[in-house]
Structure 1
Amino acid sequence: MKKLLIIGTFIIGVFFGCSSGDSDSSFDQRGYSNTDKLVSAEWLNENLENVKIIDVRKVEEYDLGHIPGAVRLTPNEVFQWEAENGVKGMLPSGDHIAKALSSVGINENDTVIFYDGNSNLWASRGLWALEVYGHKDSRLLDGAWVYWSENDYPISTDSPSISESNYKFTSSPNTNLIASWEEILDSVDDPSKIVCDTRSPDEYAGKDVRADRGGHIPGSENVNWVNAVDASGQFLEADKLSSIYENKGIKTDKAVYTLCQTAVRATHTWFVLQELLGYDNVKVYDGSWIEWGNSDLPIENK
């Protein structure tokens, strides 16, 4: 009887030790509020057989080498489209995204790991989209492809065998993650709310104009999205991140709205604020500057 208990305990330990549901303890020293949606290269290397990996780089980059078992999606085709009002780069319907996930064999209960070649810029858009539509477990690879490829982790050029699935989102979209232009306009004179503009300083100042008008939303603060990662593309420690945002008045007691040009950089900062720093109320302005800058809504360029 004692021997059976020991064997049973061993089997359970092995099962849970290999489970993709395990948190990644390698982030313990960084002080993050939550690491459920972030994995290290070491953790992923140990769990390659337990997860589904989505590479959102260009096809030619994928063909030169990718993480073993990774499938590829084109992010601006899957996680963006032109809305009925003509605004480009908006979040597509759940059916549109589900069809793409089905084409690469993703199922509703899969642990999905996103990575790209640029510090999780496009990867964060994919994760945010799945969060809106209710996928249970999606995560980013800290450092993305750059860290993985430069630190002797395995690389494959083989295309994995794909069995198409029939993915379906079953819950209502979480609209608490999305802000409209009306909500942004209401925030302009409200001290309890703040817009975090994640574009470059030149875009914010109106020197780099990518719409009919350049500049920024009145009262918004500029924190370039790249400030949240180090040279390797890994996220900074929590105390450094907190200092960056709080010094610009982007504090936990405020409702925060992130924006950029087409809400890609904005989703990266959303991830940092909500997941890593634990902000309670962060929304992505999906229309971002391509909508605001091409309208008659108020702007500043000083």
Structure 2
Amino acid sequence: MTHLITATELAHEIEDVVMLDVRWALTTANTSAGRTDYDAGHVPGAYFVDLDAELAARPGDGGRHPLPDPAVVEALLRRAGITAHTRVVTYDGKESYAAARAWWVLRWVGIADVRVLDGGYAAWLAAGLPVSTEEPADRHGDVEVRPGHLPTLDAAGAAALARDGLLLDARAAERYAGETEPIDPVAGHVPGALNSPTAAWITADGTFRRDLAEHWGRVRAGHDVGGGAVGVYCGSGVTAAHEMLALAELAVDAVLYPGSWSEWIRDPARPVATGHSPG
């Protein structure tokens, strides 16, 4: 089963799904940019979602984007009329980083049928499909969320997986290597983690590459996964969800470390590695 949907497919199914607009970018976090983009035009019927406020808790010991308060997610789902059986499509501007975070969070609280618009709003526009500036009304749903439908890693679990399985770092190579760190106060990576930039899983137009299996083979070349577990982290658990989506397309059961690097470095006793991936 694919977790992706094309713009053309969505246009045919639009009356049967609830759409969530999750336009957001790390460089515009905690600003109104996503809401401004939504107000200027969105897929007809889509509800706007504030990633920082509705898909993450406030920054703290759990990192820059800890898992959200289930009550906040429940309020979001009720506003959009989403139930455990609703078919949901999430999208963002283009690359699906934020949309994948929504995809993961909704599945974590028990919404089973969630897909991501491949290529985001840019793909919708490129297909010449209609847009709207009208915001749909609150549907006043009564769904009750149940978090924990997807497993997660904490710092200890991530460290163990880096030793005994395969822990992927989804950040850019220079951040992984500790050569630069524009966001967090400490540079480097979890010792034993393998660098796999999530940007390499998509093409220039923001859609997922068609040779995902071949790319995955290159990523793990020389690293025997076997039947072992695969985990993914990034800076704060957003782009890691994007790599989780790519792996899900390959039926790889990966586990997210939501706190990611921004939580790992909260404890100065945790080791930090630098340099590029071996092999």
Q: TM-score, normalised by structure 2?
A: 0.87
1:264 is aligned to 2:248 = no
Match of 2:161 among 169, 184, 187: 187
Equivalent of residue 16 in structure 2, options 50, 67, 74: 50
Kept in 1, the 8 Å contact 2:56–2:69? The answer is no
- TM-score w.r.t. structure 1 length? 0.81
* Alpha-carbon contact 1:252-1:279 (below 8 Å) kept: no
Distance, in Å, in 1 between the alignment partners of 2:130 and 2:187 is 44
SS at the partner of 1:254?
coil
Q: Do the aligned residues in 1 keep the contact of 2:63 with 2:260 (CA within 8 Å)?
A: no
User: Is residue 258–residue 283 contact of structure 1 (8 Å, CA) maintained in 2?
Assistant: yes
Which amino acid is the alignment partner of residue 187 of structure 1? L
**Aligned with residue 197 of structure 1, among 165, 169, 172:** 169
In 1, the alpha carbon distance for the partners of 2:230 and 2:50 equals 29
The SS at the match of 1:189 is helix
Partner of 2:125: 149
- Structure 2 Cα separation of the partners of residues 222 and 248 of structure 1: 13
Paired residue for 2:95? Answer: 119
CA distance, structure 2, for counterparts of residue 291 and residue 80 of structure 1:
14
Q: Percent sequence identity over matched residues?
A: 27
Change in CA separation of 1:231 and 1:99 when aligned onto 2, cut-off 3 Å: same
Distance 1:272 1:166, change over 3 A: same
**Does residue 70 of structure 2 align to residue 94 of structure 1?**
yes
User: What is the match of residue 174 of structure 1?
Assistant: 149
Q: Is the 8 A contact 2:237 2:256 kept in 1?
A: yes
Q: Distance in 2 between matches of 1:250 and 1:98?
A: 40
* Higher relative contact order (CA closer than 8 Å, sequence separation 6+): 2
For structure 1, which segment, 251-260 or 72-81, has the greater mean C-alpha deviation from structure 2 after superposition?
Answer: 251-260
Structure 1, residues 166-187: CA drift from partner, whole Å, max 9, x if none?
Answer: 2212x452252x1000111223
Identify unmatched segments of 5+ residues in structure 1.
1-33
Q: Distance in 1 between matches of 2:116 and 2:22?
A: 12
How far 1:201 moved relative to its partner?
1.2
| Structure 1 residue 93: Cα displacement | 2.8
Shift, 1:94, TM fit: 2.0
Gap change, CA 1:74 and 1:240, over 3 Å in 2:
same
RMSD after superposition: 1.9
C-alpha distance in 2 between matches for 1:153 and 1:54: 17
1:219 aligns with 2:219: no
